[in-house]
């Protein structure tokens, strides 16, 4: 029940000789989500051994090309692969117009349906949910409407302690009731509080993707306690004024958000092409938030849940 993030691209604005624009694949409970789709995304997925056919959904942060230009070729390739199930694409307005133009001009006969779900970049709310996972939108501060995404595992069902089952001779019906969260009344009249006989088998995990944005204390509050935080760090700390003007963050900004949020680990990326050596950027972030790493291309970052055993 881990979460694994595969970095497909970490450069800003344009591809470089050594880097690709923003794109990641988030694997939660073997559900694959593509987050942003910069140029070359499908080649990067192939290099990382990730099947595009397994994508559950796509989340686009905003409609700048370095986060989007790789999506439409990928949609075409999925048609060549024979995808049949609809693919939901979560993105701000006016993505629907772009998708309609692409379908009308290039792909009238795709064997599946790309479905646009509009993301309100001013709201912090659940936009995707199933039995095990929920995804929240995160309002960001960029030059155009932009949203980050917070991925959260839902709490697993309750387990009943084997020790309690044996000690109190619990019946099948009592065990089922306990798993529903109910207190249990024994034949003697004794009441067993539910929290004394049940437990969650493992803790839940969370991952936040915060792309292009100015520093935001509000964002830090929205991702409070996150296990793994990706936050753009386009510029070195000395370029604070430039970062603010262009709707971006510095290494120090990213580290401050992680520190304020109480994050477990920080990944920084979306680097300006002016930086040939990323060690300086890493050192600046680590000076404020020590558990920082570079979101290097083709690397995987995995966070594991804490197991709870009360057998």
Tell me the C-alpha distance between 206 and 152, whole Å. 4
Q: Is 67 found in the same domain as 184?
A: no
Q: Render pLDDT for 163-209 as a digit per residue (tens, 0 to 9).
A: 899 999 999 999 999 999 999 999 899 999 999 999 888 789 999 99
User: In this prediction, what percent of the chain has a pLDDT beyond 90?
Assistant: 88
Q: Is 190 found in the same domain as 296?
A: no
**pLDDT of 71 over the 90 cut:** yes
Q: Is 165 found in the same domain as 68?
A: no
Tell me the C-alpha distance between 69 and 66, whole Å. 6
In this structure, what DSSP letter does residue 303 have?
Answer: E
Tell me the C-alpha distance between 36 and 39, whole Å. 10
Examine the fold and report which residue of 168, 198, 228 is the final residue of a domain before the chain moves on. 198
Q: Is 287 found in the same domain as 250?
A: yes
pLDDT of residue 307: 65
Q: Is 225 found in the same domain as 92?
A: yes
Q: Is 98 found in the same domain as 18?
A: yes
Q: How confident is the model at residue 310 (pLDDT cuts 50, 70, 90)?
A: low
Q: Is 135 found in the same domain as 180?
A: no
Residue 230 lies in a domain: yes
Examine the fold and report which residue of 198, 223, 254 is the final residue of a domain before the chain moves on. 198
Residue 263 lies in a domain: yes
- Domain encompassing residue 172: 159-198
Q: For the chain, what is the domain count?
A: 2
pLDDT of residue 311: 56
Q: Around 96, how many Cα atoms within 13 Å sit in the side-chain half-sphere?
A: 6
283 carries an active-site annotation: no
Q: Render pLDDT for 7-43 as a digit per residue (tens, 0 to 9).
A: 999 999 888 878 899 999 999 989 999 999 999 999 9
Q: Is 130 found in the same domain as 261?
A: yes
pLDDT of residue 14: 80
Rounded mean pLDDT of 77-92?
A: 97
Q: Is 113 found in the same domain as 218?
A: yes
Whole-prediction pTM: 0.90
List 36, 66, 227, 253, catalytic entry: 66
Q: Around 264, how many Cα atoms within 13 Å sit in the side-chain half-sphere?
A: 13
Q: What is the CATH number of the domain that holds 148?
A: 3.60.15.10
Q: Is 145 found in the same domain as 290?
A: yes
Question: What residues have CB less than 8 Å from 156, skipping those under 6 apart?
Answer: 1, 200, 201, 202, 204
Q: Is 179 found in the same domain as 246?
A: no
Q: For residue 156, what are the CA distances in angstroms to 7, 151, 242, 261, 307? A: 27, 15, 45, 24, 12
pLDDT of residue 309: 59
Q: Is 272 found in the same domain as 206?
A: yes
């Amino acid at each position: 029940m881990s979460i694994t993030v595969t970095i497909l691209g970490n450069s800003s604005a344009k591809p470089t000789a050594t880097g690709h624009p923003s794109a990641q694949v988030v694997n939660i409970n073997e559900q694959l989500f593509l987050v942003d789709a910069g140029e070359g995304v499908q080649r990067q997925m192939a290099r990382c051994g990730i099947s595009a056919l397994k994508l559950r959904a796509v989340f686009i942060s905003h409609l700048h090309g370095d986060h989007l230009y790789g999506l439409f070729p990928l949609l075409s390739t999925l048609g060549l692969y024979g995808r049949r199930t609809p693919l939901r694409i979560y993105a701000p307005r006016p993505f629907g117009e772009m998708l309609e133009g692409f379908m009308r001009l290039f792909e009238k006969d795709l064997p599946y349906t790309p479905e646009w779900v509009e993301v309100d970049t001013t709201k912090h709310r659940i936009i995707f949910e199933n039995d095990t996972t929920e995804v929240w939108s995160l309002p960001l501060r960029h030059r155009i409407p932009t949203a980050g995404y917070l991925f959260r595992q839902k709490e697993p069902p309750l387990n009943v302690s084997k020790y309690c089952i044996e000690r109190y001779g619990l019946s099948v019906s009592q065990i089922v009731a306990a798993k529903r969260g109910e207190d249990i009344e024994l034949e003697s009249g004794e009441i067993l509080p539910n929290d004394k006989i049940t437990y969650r088998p493992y803790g839940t995990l969370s991952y936040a993707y915060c792309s292009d944005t100015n520093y935001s204390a509000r964002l830090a509050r929205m991702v409070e306690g996150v296990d793994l935080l990706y936050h753009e760090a386009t510029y070195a700390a000395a370029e604070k004024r430039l970062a603010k003007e262009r709707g971006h963050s510095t290494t120090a900004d990213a580290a401050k958000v992680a520190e304020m949020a109480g994050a477990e680990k920080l990944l920084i990326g979306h680097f300006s092409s002016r930086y040939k050596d990323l060690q300086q950027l890493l050192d600046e972030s680590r000076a404020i938030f020590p558990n920082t790493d570079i979101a290097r291309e083709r690397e995987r970052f995995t966070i594991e849940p804490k197991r709870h055993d009360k057998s």
